[in-house]
Structure 1
Amino acid sequence: MENTVNMEYSIKRFQSSKDKDFIKALMIYNSTIPVDTKTSSNEIIYFVDHSILQPKREMFFFGLFAGGEIVGFMETGYLITTKTIIIDYIVLKEAYRLNSVFYPLFSLVQRYFSEHMIDFDFIATEISTKCPEESVDVESFFSKKMLQMEDFRIVELLYRQPKLGLNNEESNFDFELMIKSAQSVVSM
């Protein structure tokens, strides 16, 4: 009897809300991200279908797959003038919140940008400043740990998250800004 376990990882970029896997990925997002820190799924659907309407930012929405099953969702934006990729959300189903799943999928997303000639200098994201005892969502806590291992660094300054979505005026929170440089940088 053979004692091996194999897992295939893949990603899929969504460019239409009509993609059957997009709705499955969005359901993972909806069940994972706390209501006070998430963008309305209706707005995400709108941006998937209308990303060409944003002249200074290109949006990327990914389904994350393990063993052929959709296990996560990732939303990113590419800021053209500053050559920065912004990670808005990375979410995985609870059973897949493991470094052995996160790293291959995150690597595939980085490879996607490289292979599609998305010339970037930085990748940035915002992470909650709370710890698990202060009710930080488990996805933020997990993402922070994983990104630190991917050479993301915390920027030492006050960062106030902009409002989420078009009409959520009460969604400004204090967060930490995490940045990874495409080149080796001593300080920022």
Structure 2
Amino acid sequence: MSLNKYIQKRNFSSTNEPKAEIVEPRRELIFVVQKHAASHLHYDFRLEMEGVLKSWAIPKGPSMNPIDKRLAIMVEDHPYSYKDFEGIIPEGNYGAGKVIVWDSGSYTLTENTENIEKTFNEGLTKGHLAFVLKGKKLKGEFTLVKLKGKQENAWLLIKKKDEFAIADDILQQDRSVISNQTLEDMV
């Protein structure tokens, strides 16, 4: 995994975003969803793998309703330390705007495997990742499915039918799971 694109897009002398570093893989993998009011409001969905956060921008945000299929654009990997980032990225910087940690927790792949990194990377290559989220807001089984014939990095995030599936709009829960702030609270 590489953080070169992350580094190239940022000026660390003018943004308080975490510097790029790859960490040692952990036993329990984390996920994070950051609500990000940049040029357009979106949610950044991140899965830890091989010491970095694989990342997708979800314009309409994640859903707990299996009927919803949410466009997820794969973006550059982010450093593991980004998992706790909340703040305001200053104007003139890539992604300028407000960021909160909307949800976080751990995840596992649905496929029982001895080599999770290999299975994860095969899923990325094949365009199909299935996983179980254990978050404060997002729970249960989800899949990321790569769209064929669309732009190169277009995927869909889909909630599977399970005991956690609901029709209610989970995005109404708009507070940070770290600071309890909303984007509007940030100054």
TM-score, normalised relative to structure 2 = 0.30
The answer to which structure has the higher helix fraction is: 1
Which of the pair has the greater relative contact order for Cα pairs under 8 Å at 6+ separation? 2
TM-score, normalised relative to structure 1 = 0.30
